[in-house]
Structures are given as structure tokens and as C-alpha cells.
Amino acid sequence: MEELGFQEKIGFIGGGNMAKAICEGVVRKGLIRYSQVYVSGPNIQNLLYWKEKGAHVYTENGRVVQEADIIFLAFKPHILPTAIAGVYDTLKHPVKSKLFVSILAGIPMKQLENVLCPLEECARIIRVMPNTPIMVGEGCTVFSAGPKASPSDISLVKKMFEVSGVCQQVPESLINAIGALAGSGPAFVYLILEALADGGVKQGVPRNLAVEFAAQTVLGAAKMSLESGKHTGQLKDEVCSAGGTTIAGIHKLESGGVRGALMDAIEAATKRSQELAQEKHG
């Protein structure tokens, strides 16, 4: 355990895939130990993973709020009223000085404040939007801080997510758009990977080799983009020799409207998350 580890107790209301990924990242980097972790969920058998790691597990959400200093809301967004009702029903004493970190997609800060303020007057809240590649340490996370969150709350949350990739603070108005780009983005890239591999298979490449090479090619191109400092247009031009094979393929992609389709996908996902937020808020 590093000297720089957190002293705070970390709670998760909802111990599913994202909670596991967030926690495993900070434990792996020595920032916390599982003995500092408190998790609740409705089914005790689904909390066995956590128990075996050494975390404290409860079926009462109020216990996590009671015990932990930093409480992640890590259940599905539509569960919010039930999960918070569960907190009120099972809380034994009033609480103070808690930091709430919501990873609920599409739930705005205002709604989080409305739900949490009766629990603790002027709750400190940070709204975070991670993506699934945090599971392999290559995540993209953005967050917005509520008006009561302190600079040390912000730096703690940033540190927790930086161990699993990149993490940036943004105005809340950008969270839906970045959620579409980085949150839905992995699904768009998987579709592209599958299509690239299918193209290879059509040309006779064995499936397993096609899948591996498609993924490694995307990984390599992403690394070139991040590390070379070159514009993506320049990187593309450097692969396209005059009258060569790549420019023939690029022509097909442009004829098929790939650029427009990807821009449309980000726009559609952004609009959908705005609609969902309205439905949940309204």
C-alpha cells in the first residue's frame, strides 16, 4: 500500500460492472484497499464477488451511506427513486460530510440535488461519466462538480479515474455530447472493428487473425493519433500513396458516407441522452 493512498472509506450503492471496474482500478494502483470499501445491492448472492475481495457488503443502501465517506451511485438510472428510498428507509442516524459521486447516465445535477438534499443539507455532489474501457485501464471519463463540491473532492475524484485512463472536468452542458462520443463510442468502434474483420474474412483471411489484426490496427492508429501530434488528415495522407491501394479504399468509404454516418451517430446519441434526461427529469 502506497503512502499516498486514500484514507476515506469508499461506498458503492450498486455493485455491478462499472462499480467493479472503478474499484478494481483504484485498488490495483494502491490508492485504497478492499477493506475500505462498502457495497450495497438488493441480492446478497450478487455481492459475493465483493465479499471475497474483502469489502463490506449490505443489502441495505442506508448502511453504505452511514459507513462510507464517498458514496458512488452505481445502479441503473431508472432505479434512482427506489435506491434512494432504500437509503432513507435503512439509515439509522442523520449523516453529514458525505461526498456523492453519480455515474448514472443522463441524470442531471439538478435532479441529483433534489433527491439527495433531504438526506444531507447541501450535499456535495460530483456527476461522472466514465466509459467501459476503464475496465482495461484505457477509459475516458468526464465529470462536473456540483456547487457544494470542494477542490479536494474534485481532485480526489479526478485521481480515482485517472488511474483507469484519462479524466477531465467539463461543464455539465457537455456531458451528454461527450457521453455520446466516449460513452457510446466504444460500441461504434466495435461495429467498425467487426466490419473491418468481415472485410478481411471476405478476402480469405481466417476469422481469428482478421479480428486480432483489425483490433491491433485500430489500437495502433489511435496511438499514432495520440502520440504523433499530427492531424488525423495528415496521418491518413501519409498512408495513401498516389494511385495506390489505400486511396482506392478511402474513395469507397467516402462514397459510402462513412464520415457523415459517424457524425450522425454522435448527434443521434447526444439527442437521445437529452431526451432521456428530459423524460427522467420531467
Ligand X SMILES: NC(=O)c1ccc[n+]([C@@H]2O[C@H](COP(=O)([O-])OP(=O)(O)OC[C@H]3O[C@@H](n4cnc5c(N)ncnc54)[C@H](OP(=O)(O)O)[C@@H]3O)[C@@H](O)[C@H]2O)c1
Q: Which residues bind ligand X (CB under 6 A)?
A: 13-19, 40-43, 46, 61, 74-77, 79, 82-83, 86, 103-105, 129-132, 183
Cβ neighbors of 279 (< 8 A, separation 6 or more) are none
Nearest residue to ligand X by CB is 16
Quote the least distance from Cβ 136 to ligand X, whole Å.
Answer: 13
For residue 6, the 8-state DSSP code is: -
Separation between Cα atoms, residue 128 and residue 157, nearest integer Å = 9
Quote the least distance from Cβ 105 to ligand X, whole Å.
Answer: 3
Separation between Cα atoms, residue 77 and residue 22, nearest integer Å = 17
Quote the least distance from Cβ 256 to ligand X, whole Å.
Answer: 28
Distance, CA of 243 to chain centre: 42
Taking the least distance from each CB to ligand X, the nearer of 46 and 217 is 46
Quote the least distance from Cβ 49 to ligand X, whole Å.
Answer: 9
- Which residues in 31-57 are b (16+ Cβ under 10 Å) and which e? bbbbebbbbbbeeeeebeebeebebbb
Cβ neighbors of 178 (< 8 A, separation 6 or more) are 129, 140, 142, 170
Quote the least distance from Cβ 11 to ligand X, whole Å.
Answer: 11
Residue written as grid cell 463510442: 185
